[in-house]
Amino acid sequence: MCVFSTTAAPDYGQPWALYAEEDVTGSGFWVSPTQVVTNEHVIKHARDVRVRPHGSARKLKCRVAFASAERDLALLEVIDDAIAKPPVLNFARSLPELYSAVAVVGYPLGGDNICVTRGVVSRLDAMAYGGEGRGERLLVVQIDAGVNSGTSGGPALDERGAVAGVAFSSYAGSADNIGYLVPASVVEAFLPVWKSTGDSARTRRKIGFHTGSCARRNFTSGARASARWASHGRRRRTRLYEGH
């Protein structure tokens, strides 16, 4: 499904003010009849979040149940009446094997139709998801398929149709067609924290914060938005991998 969020980041230089709103588009998938998983950076600082299920023209309003920037994962709770029987996906029981096939499903930049990108698992590694060496080093799955802008949060399916991981970033260097997945085991470890606490604040403290980026963003006009982009440009260019 496609995820739409309208965000307004705080201006820490002027705590009473916000930067100009921007529209962010990502992808997601059902993990229960009323819950959707996506990337944290897709809904960060969101003031409004909606999802559009595949095959539907209707956008369903959501609230952010909880999020972990360190794991770049977020759980959305659908507030509007959801579709009758959404296609809930199951998670793979183990890490994907090297050279096994995967298919990344999402809504990349340039179209409103669902797109499937096929590739193979090329490496299993551990890294901080932000790409700057900060935060906890977590398992990551590298694939030889690019994670295009707008595909953030989309599922990567194995040959059995189970979720092997969640797309969250692509390589920012000179190499092409390299993408990264949050493994299913990290996602499954993330979800029970909410079930056990039932409190988003406690969940955030327990899981921690660190951010990645690979959503499709459209900045609104305004000097503040431009200034914000310029101030972060140098930092974004130094990342090992970054979003679009």
- Identify the pLDDT of residue 129: 80
Instruction: For residue 91, give the 3-state DSSP assignment.
Output: strand
Residue 55: partners with Cβ closer than 8 Å, 6 or more residues away = none
Q: Give the confidence band of 182 by pLDDT, cuts at 50, 70, 90.
A: very high
Helix locations, the chain, DSSP H: 40-43, 184-197, 200-207, 223-237
Task: Report angle CA 26, 114, 240 to the nearest 5 degrees.
Answer: 45
Q: Give the confidence band of 244 by pLDDT, cuts at 50, 70, 90.
A: very low
Contact at 8 Å (CB) between 76 and 43?
A: yes
Q: Residue type for 102, please?
A: V
Check 27, 68, 152, 169 and give the catalytic one: 152
**59 has pLDDT over 50:** yes
Taking all residues of the chain, what is their mean pLDDT, rounded to a whole number? 78
**234 has pLDDT over 60:** no
Q: φ, ψ for residue 111 (rounded to 5)?
A: -170, 160
Mean pLDDT of 60-72: 91
Tokens 């709103």 belong to residue: 21
Q: Give the confidence band of 178 by pLDDT, cuts at 50, 70, 90.
A: confident
Check 41, 68, 149, 158 and give the catalytic one: 41
**200 has pLDDT over 60:** no
Q: Give the confidence band of 73 by pLDDT, cuts at 50, 70, 90.
A: very high
User: Where do the domains of the chain lie?
Assistant: 2-86+189-242, 101-186
Residue 152 appears among annotated catalytic residues: yes
Q: Quick one: CATH architecture of 2-86+189-242?
A: Beta Barrel (2.40)
Residue 112 appears among annotated catalytic residues: no
Q: Token digits for 228?
A: 């914000």
- In this prediction the pTM is 0.77
**212 has pLDDT over 60:** no
**Cα separation, 131 vs 128, whole angstroms:** 6
Beta pairing, strands 155-157 & 46-52: unpaired
**19 has pLDDT over 60:** yes
Q: Residue type for 200, please?
A: S
**Cα separation, 8 vs 150, whole angstroms:** 19
Check 5, 27, 68, 72 and give the catalytic one: 72
Residue 125 appears among annotated catalytic residues: no
Other residues' Cβ atoms within 10 Å of the Cβ of residue 164: 27
Q: What is the pLDDT of residues 100-140, one digit of tens each?
A: 999 999 998 756 788 999 999 999 998 888 655 567 888 99
101-186 maps to which CATH number?
2.40.10.10
Domains 2-86+189-242 and 101-186 agree in fold: yes
- Identify the pLDDT of residue 215: 54
**Cα separation, 62 vs 3, whole angstroms:** 10
